[in-house]
Amino acid sequence: MNEEVDVSSIVEQQKLNSFLVALVVGSWVITFFDGFDMNVISFAAPYIAPQFHLDKVMMGKVFSIGLAGTMVGGFLFGYLGDKIGRRPSIIAATAAFSVLTMAIAFSKSYEQLLTLRFLDGIAIGGMLPLSWALNIEYAPKRFRATIVTTVMVGYSLGTALGGPVTVWLAPRYGWGSVFLVGGGLSLLSAIGLLVMLPESVRYLASQGRKPETIARIVRRLAPDLELPANPRFVITDEAAGGKSFNAKLLFENELRVITPLLWIAYIFSSMTAFFLATWTPLVFEALGFSRQTAALAATVNSAFGALGGLSLMRFTDRFGAIAITVMPLLAIPLLLVAAFADLGSDGFLVASAFITLFLIGGHFGLHSIAGIFYPSAYRSNGTGWATSVAKIGSIAGPYIAGLILATSLPVRNIFAVLAICPAVFVVCILMIGRMHTKILGRETKPAAVEANLVVQEAQ
């Protein structure tokens, strides 16, 4: 009989090593380009709209159809990630969105622009949940939120860089140059993944696949560990794999409450996150700021969003999902102040930056916990479904904003409407957080009992 080797224990006991650092850095790079390629269109919009004679409603459709593509991508690549593996699915998605982003530069009509944005969105939306799943499956639980948040900072900084890159390239070489640069660099990163990206060791063990590959990875995670001659790799800290995925698995036991709450929180958080990502430059122009100032403000806001995620991550690792509630709670009064108070130009810019910090910081918090409740056997599907359902909000936010901005209502009133979203988010994440606290309490009890037995044996 083959001797069992617990992969989950090896992952949990590893220290911060070069293997884990390389994985995070590689994931950060492709997430950076994912954010750039997805959101650069918001900065290019002022240059694209006159060429294709697009009004605000039509531009809102361009934003929203890309997000509709990400919904399809989350389902499709989530399935592929659990079927054929994280590694090939991530590489395929990254290569696809690289080529499709470059293709947008050659759009000749509004219809072509819509089609390419939709297809690009499929690949972009498929990559992110796979990246979270892969990093979660290599990260010790005490670092999971920190690692996923660090990876997602790449997305925010990629979004932020879209502003200065567009302002520099578009007036000189046309708006298409922005997409050629973003897609070309993304393609180089996809080629790099072929060399450095590992398959998830938890995924392989849960599926009973490629023991030689698992052994090679385990030796990198635990160089001092002596493996038996014919090891059987297992995972003991979660449900056994082997089941064919069925959506009912996402609602088993405590997941029957956690999954719908997570989806609702994601929908309302995504409404605000993608409104900010797509409409901020145009909203600032409508409020009287110059195009350069609007692009710079959007860039600064994206950086503040990343700062919000970074400030939250260690608290999430320490206290669980309950820590996330503070972010949307602080955003609500600031949104109302931005909508109705006369802050002046400088005051409005400062308020906008902190609104983004709290809203995007909370959104990052959701990303960091989206996959932790699902076993490795169907974690890609769990995160893929959550982020795909979230696209209901991602699509609705920019589109509804376009309709509101097309009316005669004061532009700033849209911030008051947005305040509804973090209010719903707070309620959902508070309930998830309380359940997560109970789960963490259960998980620490066996560890405490084992530690006491070790002490007693030593005495």
Mean pLDDT to the nearest integer, 173-193: 94
Q: Is 146 a residue whose pLDDT tops 60?
A: yes
Q: What is the pTM of this model?
A: 0.77
3-state SS, residue 5: strand
The answer to whether the beta carbons of residues 37 and 101 sit under 8 Å apart is yes
Q: Is 160 a residue whose pLDDT tops 70?
A: yes
Residue 23 lies in a domain: yes
- With CA atoms as reference, report the closest residue to 44 among 204, 182, 206, 196: 182
Positive or negative torsion for Cα 32, 57, 384, 103: negative
- With CA atoms as reference, report the closest residue to 101 among 9, 30, 24, 172: 30
Residue 241 lies in a domain: no
Retrieve residue 33's tokens. 């380009």
Cα dist from 204 to 178, 261, 374, 452, whole Å: 39, 30, 16, 33
The answer to whether the beta carbons of residues 387 and 371 sit under 8 Å apart is no
CATH for 38: 1.20.1250.20
Rounded CA separation 294/153 (Å): 22
Q: Is 451 a residue whose pLDDT tops 50?
A: no
| Mean pLDDT (the chain, rounded) | 86
Range of the domain at 355: 4-236+246-458
Q: What is the pLDDT of residue 2?
A: 66
Q: What is the pLDDT of residue 240?
A: 55
Q: What is the pLDDT of residue 322?
A: 92
Q: What is the pLDDT of residue 3?
A: 80
Residue with the larger pLDDT of the pair 176 and 403: 176
How many structural domains is the chain composed of? 1
Question: Which of 10-14, 150-154, 177-181, 234-238 has the highest mean predicted lDDT (pLDDT)?
Answer: 177-181
Question: Which of 301-310, 320-329, 395-404 has the highest mean predicted lDDT (pLDDT)?
Answer: 320-329
Element (H, E) at 4: strand 4-6
Residue 255 lies in a domain: yes
Residue 145 lies in a domain: yes
Percent above pLDDT 70 for the chain: 93
